[in-house]
C-alpha cells in the first residue's frame, strides 16, 4: 500500500519538475524571473557585503527585514534560480503527508496535482519570494508540531522564525492558527503555546522595527485590479483559472452538508482569500484551501448520477479544457516575464555611463537597480519610502506634463540622470507619440538619446549630469 501511495505521489512531483524545471532551464541569459526576484537578490548581496542594513542605498528608503534575504545571503548565487523549485517540492511533500491523513492515496495525489497545475503555485515555484519560503516554513512547523516524539519541540524555533516575516504574513499566520485550532483537536494545548510564542515574538519584533524604520504604508488595490491579478484568463500570473473558482464554489456548496468536518477549511479559505485582497501574494496560501474544495467538487461530479451520461462527459471535458486553457495562457505570459534580453542589454548600456539616478516604470527600475547597482527614483516596494505620495505625484507629472519648465523642476528635484522608456510604458502612459514626456524628449538641449535597444529608449537628462 505504501508503495502504491509513493507511486501516486510521483505524478504531481514529476509534473512540477517538468513544468517549472523546463522554464528555469530555458532562461539561458538569466535564470531569474520577475522584478521581485531581482529585488530580493540585491538585498541579499547588500547583507552579504555589509550586514543587515538600516536603509536601502539605491532607493533611499528604510530597510525592512525579511528572513528570505538572510537565506539568499548565505546561499551561493548559482542556487538562486533553483531555490523556489526546491521550496515548492518540499511543500508538495509536506502537503502530501497532511492530505494522506484525510484522503486516500490517489485522492491525495489528485489534490497535489490540482495544486501543481494552478498558475499561482507554478508562479511561486519559479520566482524568489518570501511567500514560498513562508509556506514551506509553515508546513514544516505544523508537521513537527503534530509529532508525538521530542521532534515536536523543533517546531517552536520555526514559529519564532515566522514572526520575523513582513506584516501581511503575520496576519496570514493568525488565519492559519485559527484553521489549525479547528483541525488539530489532539494538539490544541501545544498549538496554543506555539501561537503565544509566535504572537509575543512578532509584537516585540514589529515594535522594535517600527521604532527604527517607521510604519509601512501599503497600497490597496482596486477591486478591478484584484480581479485582473487573481484570474488567469484576465491576465493574472500569481492567479487561479476561472474554472478553479467555479469548482471551488461547487465544492463549498457540497461540503456545507458537513459543516463541522470542514469548519477549519471555511475559516482558512475565507480569511486568507480576504487577506489576499490587501496583499496579493497570499493567494498562494488561499489556493491550498480552494484546491481542496475543487477536489470535493470533482468527486461530487464523478459520483453524481447523471440522467444523461453524455452531459456528464461534456461537463468534465469542459472543465479539463478550461484548466488546460488557463495553464496555456499562464505559460504564454511566462515567456515574456521580465527581464527581456533587451532589458539586459539596456543595463549593459547604462553601466558604460556615469552613475546616476534612473527613472522608469516600477518593474524596470527594480531590475535595473539590481543589474547596474545605480540608484533609482522608486521601486516595486516603496512601503517605507519617505514622501511616497509626493514622489509619485512628481513622477506622474513628469510623464504627462507638456510644460518643459515644470518637467525640468520635477526631474531636478528627484535628481534624475537617466530616463528609460519601455514599450509597456508607451502603451500604458501615453495615448500617442506626442503626449507629455514623449513630446518634450525632442528638446535636444535638455534630453540626449543614449541608445535605442530594440524598442527600449535610454535618455540622459542633461541639466543634471552635464
Label each residue of 75-88 as H, E or C.
Answer: CCHHHHHHHHHHHH
Pick from 313, 312, 324: nearest CA to 241: 324
Residues 258 and 349 in one domain: no
Is 64 among the domain residues? no
Is 152 among the domain residues? yes
- Cβ-Cβ contacts under 8 Å for 31 (sequence gap 6 or more): 24, 25, 80, 81
Q: Which of 288, 311, 335 is the last residue of a domain?
A: 335
Please give the pLDDT value at position 28: 54
Q: Which of 293, 317, 335 is the last residue of a domain?
A: 335
Residues 225 and 273 in one domain: yes
> Total structural domains in the chain?
2
Q: Return the beta strands (E) in 74-191 as ranges.
A: none
Report d(CA 87, CA 66) in Å as an integer: 17
CATH of the domain at 449: 3.40.50.12610
Please give the pLDDT value at position 4: 55
Can you read off the three cell numbers belonging to residue 199?
A: 504572537
Residues 423 and 309 in one domain: no
Residues 124 and 212 in one domain: yes
Please give the pLDDT value at position 453: 87
Task: Write down the pTM of the prediction.
Answer: 0.91
The Cβ of residue 180 has, within 10 Å, a number of other Cβ atoms equal to 22
Is 89 among the domain residues? yes
Please give the pLDDT value at position 30: 64
Q: Which of 335, 359, 388 is the last residue of a domain?
A: 335
Total number of residues shown for the chain: 466
Residues 353 and 313 in one domain: no
Pick from 101, 105, 79, 102: nearest CA to 12: 105
Residues 329 and 444 in one domain: no
Can you read off the three cell numbers belonging to residue 393?
A: 505625484
Please give the pLDDT value at position 382: 86
Residues 305 and 177 in one domain: yes
Is 218 among the domain residues? yes
Residues 213 and 268 in one domain: yes
Residues 268 and 129 in one domain: yes
Please give the pLDDT value at position 465: 44
Please give the pLDDT value at position 308: 64
Give me the torsion for CA of 58, 61, 67, 70, rounded to 10°: 30
- Dihedral (CA of 186, 190, 196, 197) sign: negative
Is 58 among the domain residues? no
Residues 275 and 360 in one domain: no
Residue 420 CA: distances (Å) to CA of 61, 342, 357? 22, 12, 11
Classified as helix, coil or strand, 248 is helix
Domain housing 354: 341-461
Is 53 among the domain residues? no
Is 45 among the domain residues? no
- Splitting the chain (466 residues) into consecutive groups of 10 residues, what average pLDDT does each group show? 59 74 67 89 94 89 92 93 91 88 83 88 92 96 88 91 94 93 85 94 92 81 81 86 90 84 86 91 94 90 72 77 81 82 91 92 93 92 84 91 90 93 89 85 89 89 64
Residues 312 and 447 in one domain: no
Residues 226 and 314 in one domain: yes
Please give the pLDDT value at position 464: 47
Is 62 among the domain residues? no
Helices (H), 373-454: 388-400, 404-413, 423-429, 436-440
Amino acid at each position: 500500500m505504501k508503495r502504491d501511495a509513493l507511486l501516486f505521489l510521483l505524478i504531481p512531483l514529476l509534473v512540477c519538475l517538468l513544468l517549472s524545471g523546463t522554464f528555469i532551464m530555458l532562461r539561458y541569459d538569466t535564470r531569474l524571473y520577475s522584478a521581485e526576484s531581482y529585488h530580493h537578490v540585491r538585498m541579499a548581496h547588500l547583507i552579504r557585503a555589509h550586514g543587515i542594513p538600516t536603509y536601502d542605498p539605491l532607493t533611499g528608503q528604510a530597510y525592512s527585514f525579511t528572513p528570505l534575504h538572510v537565506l539568499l545571503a548565505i546561499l551561493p548565487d548559482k542556487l538562486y534560480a533553483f531555490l523556489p523549485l526546491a521550496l515548492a517540492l518540499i511543500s508538495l511533500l509536506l502537503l502530501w503527508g497532511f492530505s494522506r491523513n484525510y484522503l486516500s492515496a490517489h485522492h491525495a495525489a489528485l489534490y497535489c496535482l490540482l495544486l501543481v497545475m494552478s498558475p499561482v503555485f507554478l508562479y511561486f515555484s519559479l520566482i524568489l519570494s518570501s511567500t514560498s519560503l513562508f509556506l514551506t516554513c509553515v508546513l514544516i512547523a505544523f508537521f513537527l508540531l503534530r509529532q508525538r516524539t521530542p521532534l515536536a519541540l523543533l517546531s517552536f524555533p520555526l514559529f519564532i522564525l515566522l514572526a520575523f516575516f513582513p506584516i501581511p504574513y503575520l496576519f496570514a499566520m493568525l488565519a492559519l492558527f485559527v484553521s489549525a485550532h479547528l483541525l488539530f483537536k489532539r494538539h490544541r494545548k501545544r498549538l496554543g503555546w506555539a501561537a503565544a510564542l509566535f504572537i509575543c515574538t512578532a509584537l516585540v519584533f514589529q515594535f522594535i522595527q517600527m521604532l527604527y524604520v517607521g510604519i509601512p504604508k501599503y497600497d490597496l488595490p482596486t477591486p478591478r485590479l484584484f480581479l485582473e491579478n487573481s484570474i488567469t484568463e484576465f491576465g493574472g500570473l500569481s492567479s487561479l483559472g476561472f474554472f478553479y473558482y467555479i469548482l471551488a464554489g461547487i465544492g463549498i456548496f457540497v461540503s456545507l452538508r458537513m459543516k463541522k468536518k470542514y469548519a477549519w477549511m471555511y475559516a482558512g479559505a475565507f480569511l486568507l482569500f480576504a487577506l489576499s485582497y490587501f496583499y496579493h501574494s497570499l493567494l498562494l496560501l488561499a489556493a491550498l484551501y480552494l484546491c481542496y474544495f475543487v477536489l470535493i467538487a470533482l468527486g461530487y461530479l464523478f459520483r453524481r448520477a447523471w440522467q444523461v451520461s453524455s452531459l456528464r462527459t461534456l461537463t468534465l471535458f469542459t472543465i479539463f479544457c478550461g484548466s488546460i486553457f488557463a495553464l496555456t495562457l499562464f505559460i504564454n505570459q511566462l515567456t515574456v516575464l521580465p527581464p527581456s534580453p533587451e532589458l539586459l542589454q539596456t543595463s549593459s548600456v547604462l553601466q558604460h555611463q556615469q552613475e546616476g539616478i534612473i527613472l522608469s516604470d516600477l518593474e524596470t527600475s527594480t531590475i535595473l537597480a539590481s543589474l547596474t547597482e545605480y540608484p533609482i527614483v522608486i521601486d516595486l516596494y516603496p512601503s517605507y519610502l519617505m514622501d511616497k505620495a509626493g514622489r509619485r505625484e512628481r513622477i506622474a507629472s513628469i510623464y504627462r506634463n507638456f510644460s518643459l519648465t515644470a518637467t525640468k523642476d520635477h526631474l531636478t528635484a528627484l535628481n534624475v540622470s537617466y530616463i528609460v522608456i519601455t514599450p509597456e510604458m508607451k502603451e500604458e502612459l501615453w495615448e500617442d507619440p506626442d503626449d507629455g514626456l514623449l513630446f518634450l524628449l525632442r528638446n535636444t538641449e535638455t534630453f540626449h538619446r543614449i541608445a535605442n535597444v530594440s524598442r527600449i529608449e535610454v535618455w540622459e537628462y542633461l541639466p543634471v549630469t552635464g
